[in-house]
């Protein structure tokens, strides 16, 4: 099964509404970063490189909700940093669920035991746990031993409590088709998470490790082998089939970063949460004052090797909704 039916129906209705209103650009998912602080220092992430004064800041719940209402996105991905370090994260989630937003709380899972009593299971809420590989691989990725085992234990506890669990896995040049297959099999068959998300790593400017980011050709070669021999059909992905086609090079898309805007302590980030070319004071300003044609592969050299979900998943969703054949395929997957 691909994207949950309830979510697919809601997003489909939302897209139809945008089409009837003849809006060319709109938010599909809001990438909300209410803090940058984290309890880990992963080699492939540059978020904790912000100044100490910024790392101490926490976005007020009212400010976060205002950003959600402003852009109107039906899906909200709460990232960071580590969102569970926010003192009012459960209040924010409760308010978003009350508004029937589909909420994915991105976490390394280490703080779940301290916080989980403050959350309630809901079809609108998922913990999105970061798992990059099996034990040795994952612990190396997050630069700390024992994290994989703790994350798995905490996921199992959340499952027993009735929470939806998705996972988010990022892959680098150090990964092989077999290592990717093994972690996806484990998450799907052994840990039995509800759904999985995956992405080739993007070269954050401030990430400590700058040597192991995948290029376009490497990404396509990796996923073509991973998805081969019918394996793709047996895994529960939280992606459209067209995005998976994109990863293995069966189709190509233009970047639509405006559909997954990033809102953080600094404001609305240009052009996406992976690049920092300034900030807008409103989503409308972000749409109108950003030269979107200047970004994407072939336009900006920083985009040359990007195949990240924030630019291409919304394009694949739009293409799916614009095709009866692809819509039926998404339902059947």
Region of residue 4 (phi > 0: left; psi between -120 and 50: alpha; otherwise: beta): beta
What residue spans define the domains of the chain?
Answer: 5-332
Mean of the pLDDT values across residues 132-153? 94
Q: With cut-offs at 50, 70 and 90, classify the pLDDT of residue 273.
A: confident
| Mean pLDDT for the stretch of residues 117-135 | 97
Please write the tens of the pLDDT for every residue from 39-69: 888 877 766 678 899 999 999 999 999 999 9
124-133, 175-184, 295-304: the lowest-pLDDT one: 295-304
CA 311, CA 104: separation in Å to the nearest integer? 18
Average pLDDT, integer, range 124-133: 96
**105, pLDDT greater than 50:** yes
Query: Cα–Cα distances in Å, from 279 out to 181, 202, 287, 332?
Result: 39, 20, 11, 40
Q: Specify whether the CB–CB gap between 128 and 167 falls below 8 A.
A: yes
Dihedral angle over CA of 278, 284, 285, 291, nearest 10: 70
Q: Can you tell me the distance from the alpha carbon of 146 to that of 126, in angstroms, rounded to the nearest whole number?
A: 24
Query: Are 64 and 92 spatial neighbours (Cβ–Cβ below 8 Å)?
Result: yes
pLDDT at 2 over 80: no
Higher-confidence position of 311 and 212: 311
Flag whether pLDDT at 212 surpasses 80. no
SS3 241: helix
Contact 119, 163 (CB under 8 A): yes
Q: Does the 5-332 domain belong in CATH 3.20.20.70?
A: yes
Residue 209 pLDDT class (50, 70, 90 cuts): very low
Q: Where are the alpha helices (DSSP H) in 186-240?
A: 216-226
For 215-264, what is each residue's pLDDT tens digit?
Answer: 889 999 999 999 999 999 999 999 999 999 999 999 999 999 999 999 99
| Least-confidence region, from 181-195, 251-265, 303-317 | 303-317
| Average of per-residue pLDDT across 275-292 | 96
Average model confidence (pLDDT) across the chain: 91
The whole-number pLDDT of residue 1 equals 47
* Strand order through the sheet with 164-171: 195-200, 164-171, 125-130, 102-107, 75-78, 29-32, 262-264, 267-272, 275-280
């Amino acid at each position: 099964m691909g994207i949950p039916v309830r979510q697919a129906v809601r997003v489909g209705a939302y897209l139809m509404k945008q089409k009837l209103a003849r809006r060319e650009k709109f938010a599909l998912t809001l990438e909300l970063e209410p803090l940058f602080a984290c309890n880990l220092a992963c080699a492939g992430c540059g978020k904790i490189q912000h100044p100490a004064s910024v790392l101490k800041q926490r976005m007020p719940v009212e400010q976060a909700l205002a950003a959600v209402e402003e852009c109107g996105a039906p899906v909200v991905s709460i990232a960071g940093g580590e969102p569970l370090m926010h003192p009012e994260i459960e209040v924010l989630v409760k308010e978003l669920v009350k508004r029937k937003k589909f909420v994915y709380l991105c976490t390394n899972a280490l703080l779940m035991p301290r916080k989980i009593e403050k959350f309630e299971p809901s079809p609108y809420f998922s913990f999105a746990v970061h798992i990059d590989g099996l034990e040795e691989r994952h612990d190396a990725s997050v630069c700390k031993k024992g994290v994989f085992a703790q994350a798995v234990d905490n996921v199992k506890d959340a499952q027993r409590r009735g929470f939806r669990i998705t996972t988010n896995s990022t892959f680098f040049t150090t990964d092989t088709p077999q290592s990717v297959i093994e972690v996806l099999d484990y998450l799907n068959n052994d840990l039995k998470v509800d759904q999985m998300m995956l992405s080739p790593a993007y070269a954050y400017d401030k990430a400590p490790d700058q040597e192991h980011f995948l290029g376009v050709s490497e990404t396509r070669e990796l996923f073509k082998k991973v998805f081969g021999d019918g394996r793709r059909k047996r895994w529960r992905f939280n992606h459209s089939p067209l995005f998976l086609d994109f990863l293995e090079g069966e189709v190509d898309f233009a970047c639509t970063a405006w559909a997954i805007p990033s809102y953080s302590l600094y404001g609305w980030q240009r052009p996406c949460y992976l690049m920092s070319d300034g900030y807008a004071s409103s989503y409308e300003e972000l749409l109108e004052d950003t030269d979107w044609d200047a970004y994407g592969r072939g336009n900006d050299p920083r985009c040359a090797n990007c195949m990240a979900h924030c630019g291409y998943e919304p394009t694949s969703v739009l293409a799916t909704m614009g095709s009866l054949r692809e819509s039926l395929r998404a339902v059947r997957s």
